[in-house]
A = this chain, B = another copy of it.
Amino acid sequence: MAGTDRNRELITGGPAIILMEPQLGENIGMVARAMANFGLSNLRIVNPRDGWPNDKAISAAAHADHVIEATRVFDTLEAALADLNFVYATTARPRDGHKPVKGSVEAGAVLRARENAGEKTGLMFGRERTGLRNWEISLADEIVTFPVNPAYASLNIAQAVLLMSYEWMKSGLGHPLETAFDKPEVEPAPKSDLHGLFDQIEEGLDARGYFRSETKRMKAVDNLRAVLTRPGFSTDEINVLRGLFASFDKFSRPGQRKPGEAGDEE
């Protein structure tokens, strides 16, 4: 639909859109366009299959140049999330785990409230065919899902980005839910702080042979990350936890066993 007025000020900012390993440049371009339609401008791509910049993305973006030009590419999802305080993962599948699941309208309102409070927020979207993996979802604070037809639930990534961008825009229009969300009492730390806590704990567990196999390791790591992500710890809280684990890690107690020694298990 036409209707663009180049004399009006461009709306930018808002939550970052993070695409995990997108394959098709056309999809990235359509994502940029959907973002521009609803005033988002911060696009981050983790390992795009066909590299970056991508001519097909530029073509499909239909002159959403300000989004394409500001796009940042990352090698890891952790790096793409590092400076954000609060992140949603999008999924159409119910998941096991401890994460709250929000509808799209409510998630738009939550993002608006957190951005208004000075937090940096983001929305993660998975691969075209296979979506987000469990360990990737474990890095999110909450899950957002759409009220799709259960018998035909497949949304492409540009459509999913469009819906959340639209809900973001609506949440700024004096939405009735806006007042229901006050500033969160604790400001979640940048994700790089949380990832530092993960690294410390996982390294300490590895050094003790805690994980019996690589398969068990992946599941256990997903689980511990979920438990540590869900509270939205502040930087101060993370520093307290790191101090506790550091003490347990560096100092032994009388009678402590070496890794692999027999003994009763918790």
Contacts and interface: CB of A to CB of B under 8 A. Distances in A.
Interface of A: 1-11, 33-34, 36-39, 62, 64, 90-94, 98, 100-106, 125-126, 129-131, 145-157, 159-160, 162-163, 166, 169-170, 173, 176-183, 185-186, 201, 204-205, 207-210, 223-224, 227, 230-234, 236-237, 240-254, 256-259, 261, 263, 266
Nearest to A91: B1
14 contacts: A1-B90, A3-B131, A4-B153, A9-B150, A100-B186, A104-B179, A147-B169, A159-B162, A163-B163, A207-B253, A242-B266, A245-B245, A250-B256, A251-B256
Contact of A155 (B1, B101, B246): B1
A93 to B, nearest CB: 4
Given A145-B179, A162-B162, 8 more contacts: A1-B154, A2-B93, A3-B91, A3-B148, A37-B153, A223-B240, A250-B256, A251-B261
Contacts of A263: 250
Given A4-B152, A149-B10, A180-B145, A252 B246 contact: no
A224 B245 CA distance: 12
B5 A151 contact: yes
